[in-house]
Amino acid sequence: MKFKPETYRIPDERMKPFIDSEEIWGYINSTKPTKEKVRQVIAKAMDKQRLNLEDTATLVNTTDPELIEEILQGARTLKEKVYGNRIVLFAPLYIGNKCTNNCKYCGFRSSNKEAVRKTLSDDEIVKEVEALEENGQKRLILVYGEHQNYSPEYIAHTVKLVYGVKKNNGEIRRVNINAAPLDIEGFKTVKESGIGTYQVFQETYDPVAYESYHPSGKKRDYEWRLTSLDRAQEAGLDDVGIGALFGLYDWRFEVLSLIRHTNHLEACYNVGPHTISFPRIKSAASLDITDKHFVSDEDFVKLVAILRLAVPYTGLILTAREPANIRRQVIQFGVSQIDGGTKIELGSYSHTENDKQNLNREQFTINDNRSLSEIIDELIENDYIPSFCTACYRLGRTGEHFMEFSVPGFIKRYCTPNALMTLTEYLVDYGTLEQKEKGYKLIEKNLNQLNGHQDAEEVRRRIDKIIAGERDLYF
Ligand code: SAM
Ligand code: SF4
């Protein structure tokens, strides 16, 4: 046969699967968490160095309560050093639950005939976004099932639609996406619509377990999913989020695999994932799994702390799948983003309680049903600055640049002032009287702690401008 140069492609090493189960189990089975070794690893992380797989294996194998306490303390301190005391807030918006996959853990699975299938119309999307803006949201993640209707063009259309909705002073300034893996062209199309992060969770990194949870549909292809964010990078989308669904397989294996995935992205593209998510399985209609690998609260807290230590500069997202008491606890050990006022039934942000009776469009159960306002109250009471900041990605501080997080003083120069300014906007436009009183006190206190990294007087001037009616000021 004649060789046709135009059809010949050099295989791209980067698109090769990079998880080797044996290698990962090798680390887990051969690492002994002696006191000395665990303390060495914690010290390395406190020095803001990335942990390798062996270091991470040492931490996941630690069972001595005294050492676990040291891991938690280390994560708490490191979080304060790297991220300060701000917590970024967002909300999910489910666009459509049609799905051709049959994931055994998900209420949207194709075999769940009870689920009411729905894709929001453009008008409904606008209504939902208006309702979200009226609550003070500025950052959304749009969520889709996997279905031919949710093409890259359709996803891009919904993103642009969302950015166009302005209700009073409300606007959405960052739209992230959680949807099925795309090809390179598809990622390009979605990127051009102006998204922030594209999230794809691997669910489980173990290929054998993966196969058993995904009996049919396109999602069955483990490698297509595993290499999806490589295709995103190839498409120029350098802001990606990874995650594992904890409860499908041994949590220690998933933690090491998340680090392996991070290493891969760093090695190939000079930039790690922007965020890591670690949802735990929650009850869902027609769930078809055993509790063999379910993760206890104790292990959950530990695994979040380990992720914090292992990847100091990656955002960690904790969602309202977890109840308030767990969120309160886990936030301290490394979480940087949470959702607030979350509703995941399609169309439920703009529906009143009365007309919600007949909805059966939920993917899984939400366990923190508090409003955004209640979440903000609690954050302020606990001395966290609720932040709606979207400055970095709008100023092009993404990808490799995001590594500038390691620049000393970055947080105090940009993140804290932006958090304080977006909190001011929230208080002026949506805050209760009581919230305003507490919020302005917190703002004053944090202004006084900028320690010369940012001109506190300039931040104060901008805050005054916001109070006088200006919006969307940022550094
Ligand atoms: N359909 C797309 C996909 O599967 O990638 C994206 C949306 S899916 C609705 C978002 C994520 O929800 C999934 O990746 C999975 O990790 C998580 N999820 C599914 N079922 C869940 C359950 N029962 N409890 C908690 N999280 C779940
Ligand atoms: Fe569909 Fe995603 Fe649910 Fe799987 S997890 S059934 S792909 S919506």
Binding pocket residue ranges, ligand 2, CB within 6 Å: 99, 101, 103, 106, 108-109, 145-146, 219
Q: How many domains does the chain have?
A: 3
Residue that is last in its domain, among 11, 46, 78: 78
Query: Which of 325, 336, 331, 324 has its CA nearest to residue 370?
Result: 324
Strand partners, 244: 203
pLDDT per position as a tens digit, 444-462: 999 998 877 778 899 999 9
228-232, 280-284, 454-458 — which is least confidently predicted? 454-458
User: pLDDT grade, residue 6 (50/70/90)?
Assistant: very low
288 and 213 together in one domain? yes
Please choose from 94, 95, 103, 218 the residue to mutate so as to test ligand 2's pocket, defined by most ligand atoms within 8 A of CB: 103
In a domain, 413, yes or no: yes
For the segment 119-140, what is each residue's pLDDT rounded down to a tens digit? Answer: 999 999 999 999 999 999 999 9
Average pLDDT of 96-116?
A: 94
Nearest Cα to 120, choosing from 155, 172, 152, 90? 155
Q: Are strands 139-144 and 166-167 parallel, antiparallel or unpaired?
A: unpaired
Residues 94 and 52 in one domain: no
Whole-angstrom CA distances from 179 to 248, 310, 368 are 20, 27, 23
Atom of ligand 1 nearest to the CA of 200: 5
Give the pLDDT score at 7. Answer: 44
- How far, in Å, is the centroid of ligand 1 from the Cα of 145? 9
CA distances to 173, 261, 442 from 384, rounded to whole Å, are 22, 30, 9
Q: Of 104-118, 324-338, 352-366, 442-456, which range is least confident? A: 352-366
- What would the pLDDT profile of 45-68 be if each residue is shown by its tens digit? 999 899 999 999 999 999 999 999
Among 94, 142, 178, 295, the mutation site with the greatest number of ligand 1 atoms within 8 A of its Cβ is: 178
Q: Is residue 281 part of a domain?
A: yes
CA atoms within a 13 Å half-sphere pointing along the CA-CB vector of 394: 14
78, 108, 127 — which closes off a domain? 78
Is residue 116 in some structural domain?
A: yes
Residue-number span of the structural domain to which 200 is assigned: 84-370
Contact 262, 273 (CB under 8 A): yes
**Residue from 201, 219, 222 whose mutation best tests the ligand 2 pocket (most atoms within 8 A of CB):** 219
Is there a single domain that holds both residue 248 and residue 110?
A: yes
Q: From atom 20 of ligand 1, which residue's Cα is the shortest distance away?
A: 106
The whole-model pTM stands at 0.95
Ligand 1 centroid – CA 319 distance (Å): 12
pLDDT at 86 over 80: yes
Please indicate, yes or no, whether residues 129 and 249 belong to a single structural domain of this protein: yes
Q: Is the pLDDT of residue 8 over 70?
A: no
Q: What is the CATH number of the domain that holds 182?
A: 3.20.20.70
**230 part of a folded domain:** yes
pLDDT in tens, 374-392: 999 999 999 999 999 999 8
Q: What is the 3-state secondary structure (H, E, C) of 289-300?
A: CCCCCCCCHHHH
Instruction: Report the separation in Å between the CA atom of 269 and the middle of ligand 2, taken as the mean of its atom positions.
Output: 28
* pLDDT value for 356: 53
The pLDDT assigned to 364 comes to 86
Calculate how far, in angstroms, residue 107's C-alpha sits from the geometric centre of ligand 2: 8
Cα(348)–Cα(380) distance, rounded to whole angstroms? 27
Is the per-residue pLDDT at 407 higher than 50?
yes
Nearest CA to ligand 2 atom 5: 106
User: Which residue puts its alpha carbon closest to atom 11 of ligand 1?
Assistant: 201
Q: Which of 317, 342, 375 is nearest to 128 (CA)?
A: 342
Q: What is the mean pLDDT of residues 162-183?
A: 98
Same domain, 422 and 366: no
Confidence tier at 400 by pLDDT (50, 70, 90): low
d(CA 122, CA 359): 19
Give the distance (Å) from ligand 1 centre to CA of residue 179. Answer: 9
Verify that 416 and 309 share a domain, yes or no: no
Least reliable range by pLDDT among 153-162, 392-401, 413-422: 392-401
Q: Which residues contact 266 (CB under 8 A, 6 or more apart)?
A: 50, 272
Name the residue with higher pLDDT: 110 or 362: 110
Closest C-alpha residue for ligand 2 atom 4: 103
Mutate to test the pocket of ligand 1, among 93, 106, 288 (most ligand atoms within 8 A of CB): 106
